[in-house]
A and B are shown apart, each in its own frame.
Chain A
């Protein structure tokens, strides 16, 4: 390399800088193309449909999830939101079971600085590698559904992964198994004959914050608008 000084003029310096930047850019593109190609064509696409008409609000899914995944007190991978709408005697109870949407374009995955959050290319499930996570909280903030938390036991990010240790053995996720009203239907969205695909083709499907274009893989059926899309003006009115 030439010594910077009289031997190197500005044009030469800018040319060198440009070449380095182009080489770096090309390197990054080559490195990432393989990952993107893998992520774009999963063989399976695990997803869930939740029929809110069938949910009875027993919180069995919450307890099953906690016991299956050893989720500590105060944090939840899966839980049920409940509201009451209307005035007595015309009141209606609405329930919305919640879990990680394992989005196809997951903001948490995009924002994770270490790649601790990753997607298994064969089924599209989003995971957290506890050995790589630095606990920077970025993914917790990046998730537009508040589905992530820092596990107080491990000090790393945590979230629902559809009970990956069960589904890879042909079992159903713990919450689906425990659901009293059979409100949760789990399966491969790429298989047109799976129960979940048939359900999706039969009913009008809703999703959480669909305008963000994160392509969530947890869908809802018969969910009330008041519980699905919260009326934020309520907060400023109070």
Chain B
């Protein structure tokens, strides 16, 4: 049993899901997380001044979800055939479900965004404000009478319907990314339903962090009038509270996950070792635990720091970095365990794909900032005075 063994001949298979797929799963979970966090916060506050932040938490995730297929396309060897998923549909495959869930998610986000911006766009068209012609095209020339608040009141049912549908599809998207990993039967690290909860907790933390970062950027680039600004700053500080609880939940889920792995035979122990002392240990301890959880948790625990712009921005960037590495550690780490030999599998350098992923992220960031200048995020002053 304990005789020395030498491995003379074997085949190395490498890692097939690299950083680009990790980026894909991370961005989806962050986008839907930001939207869910915003919607639940809106249901809690029920405040008109929260609307600009709700628009941030709906339209920006829509942009992310729209560009995500590009990351998948660059990873596939035959992306030109991907439409075949729709009619050669294999119902037992997670990706096949994703092929329907993700586009439907985009549709619901698009309609919800449209209804969020619609009243302000109508007011802007009527009052001849900048970009009125663009808004007229987006509204297909149908301009209603009344203040933005009155128009919003009239469209309340449709807006609520799309909001509810976005909640359903956001959770389906999170289940999809979780199941995408947990479907791999032979990969002990991820073959567990914990993956779904893992992605929900990552979505909550990275989503709240996304809202803090992009909300702060919005108030800097397109600042609202001062009373609304004070309120929005308070809402953004309150996102720090959500971030705090999301980080605690994430910590708890990771502890449960690592304990579970330790009771899942030799393979499970090895999977836990990959995080704790193996090939992904540096990324786990440095990026995921210290930068991604402990430092931001320390920053958002103190109320004064939550209100501090610099501290909250630092916490949000750190959480997003940590969440990305959490997904990468799971996705790449699960493939490091060899199935046919006893050497760690290796992730081959993928400079083209990584560069492409970074370019997509940069494009997204530019689109986010551009949208602040183009779309009517803030409540019109006339609406407030009339209200």
Q: Which residues of A contact B (CB under 8 A)?
A: 4-5, 28, 32, 57, 76, 79-87, 98, 107, 110-116, 132-138, 140-146, 149-150, 155-156, 209, 212, 214, 226, 230-236
Q: List B contacts of A146 (CB < 8 A).
A: 11, 13, 339-340
Do A135 and B185 have beta carbons less than 8 Å apart? Answer: no
Do B5 and A133 have beta carbons less than 8 Å apart? Answer: no
- B226 at interface (Cβ–Cβ under 8 A)? no
Q: Which residues of B contact A (CB under 8 A)?
A: 3-11, 13, 16-17, 72, 75-79, 81-82, 84-85, 88-96, 98-99, 157-158, 161, 183-187, 266-267, 269-270, 273, 277-278, 335, 337-342, 344
Do B91 and A83 have beta carbons less than 8 Å apart? Answer: no
Q: List B contacts of A132 (CB < 8 A).
A: 81, 84, 88
Do A111 and B16 have beta carbons less than 8 Å apart? Answer: no
**Complex Cα–Cα for A142 and B267 (A):** 16
Do B90 and A140 have beta carbons less than 8 Å apart? Answer: no
Q: List A contacts of B5 (CB < 8 A).
A: 83-85, 226, 231, 234
**Complex Cα–Cα for A230 and B344 (A):** 13
Q: List 15 A-B contacts (CB under 8 A).
A: A5-B157, A5-B158, A81-B340, A85-B3, A113-B89, A136-B72, A137-B17, A140-B16, A145-B340, A146-B339, A232-B266, A234-B5, A236-B270, A236-B273, A236-B278
Q: List A contacts of B187 (CB < 8 A).
A: 141, 144
Query: Among the listed A84, A134, A226, which residue makes an inter-chain contact with B85, where contact means beta carbons less than 8 Å apart?
Result: A134
Do B186 and A86 have beta carbons less than 8 Å apart? Answer: no
Given the interface pairs A82-B8, A132-B88, A156-B78, the reply to whether A113 lies near B266 with Cβ below 8 Å is no
A-B contact count (CB 8 A): 166
Query: Among the listed B90, B93, B96, B270, which residue makes an inter-chain contact with A233, where contact means beta carbons less than 8 Å apart?
Result: B270
**Complex Cα–Cα for A140 and B269 (A):** 23
Q: List A contacts of B339 (CB < 8 A).
A: 144-146
Given the interface pairs A134-B81, A236-B269, the reply to whether A86 lies near B3 with Cβ below 8 Å is yes
Do A110 and B93 have beta carbons less than 8 Å apart? Answer: yes
Q: List A contacts of B96 (CB < 8 A).
A: 113-114
Q: List A contacts of B92 (CB < 8 A).
A: 110-111
**Complex Cα–Cα for A135 and B371 (A):** 35
Q: List B contacts of A231 (CB < 8 A).
A: 5, 266, 342
Do A113 and B185 have beta carbons less than 8 Å apart? Answer: no
Could you list 17 further interchain pairs (A-B, Cβ under 8 angstroms) beyond the known A83-B5, A136-B72, A142-B183? A57-B9, A81-B340, A86-B3, A111-B94, A113-B93, A113-B99, A132-B81, A132-B88, A134-B76, A135-B76, A136-B76, A140-B13, A156-B77, A232-B270, A233-B266, A233-B270, A235-B344
Q: List B contacts of A150 (CB < 8 A).
A: 16, 77
Residue on A nearest B13 in the bound complex, by CB? A146
**Complex Cα–Cα for A235 and B5 (A):** 12
How far is the CB of A215 from the nearest CB of chain B, in Å?
A: 12
Do B342 and A234 have beta carbons less than 8 Å apart? Answer: yes
Q: List B contacts of A82 (CB < 8 A).
A: 7-10
Query: Among the listed A28, A83, A114, A156, which residue makes an inter-chain contact with B88, where contact means beta carbons less than 8 Å apart?
Result: A114
Residue on B nearest A149 in the bound complex, by CB? B13
Q: List A contacts of B72 (CB < 8 A).
A: 136
**Complex Cα–Cα for A155 and B76 (A):** 9
**Complex Cα–Cα for A136 and B99 (A):** 12
Q: List A contacts of B81 (CB < 8 A).
A: 114, 132-134
Do A138 and B91 have beta carbons less than 8 Å apart? Answer: no
How far is the CB of B88 from the nearest CB of chain A, in Å?
A: 4
Given the interface pairs A107-B186, A212-B186, the reply to whether A135 lies near B78 with Cβ below 8 Å is yes
**Complex Cα–Cα for A233 and B76 (A):** 34
Do A114 and B344 have beta carbons less than 8 Å apart? Answer: no
Do B91 and A4 have beta carbons less than 8 Å apart? Answer: no
Query: Among the listed A79, A141, A232, which residue makes an inter-chain contact with B184, where contact means beta carbons less than 8 Å apart?
Result: A141
How far is the CB of B186 from the nearest CB of chain A, in Å?
A: 2
Q: List B contacts of A4 (CB < 8 A).
A: 157-158, 161
Do B17 and A141 have beta carbons less than 8 Å apart? Answer: yes
Q: List A contacts of B78 (CB < 8 A).
A: 133-135, 155-156
Q: List A contacts of B84 (CB < 8 A).
A: 114, 132, 134
**Complex Cα–Cα for A111 and B185 (A):** 10
Q: List A contacts of B77 (CB < 8 A).
A: 134-135, 150, 155-156
Do A138 and B9 have beta carbons less than 8 Å apart? Answer: no
Residue on B nearest A230 in the bound complex, by CB? B342
Do B4 and A134 have beta carbons less than 8 Å apart? Answer: no
Given the interface pairs A212-B186, A236-B278, the reply to whether A114 lies near B85 with Cβ below 8 Å is yes
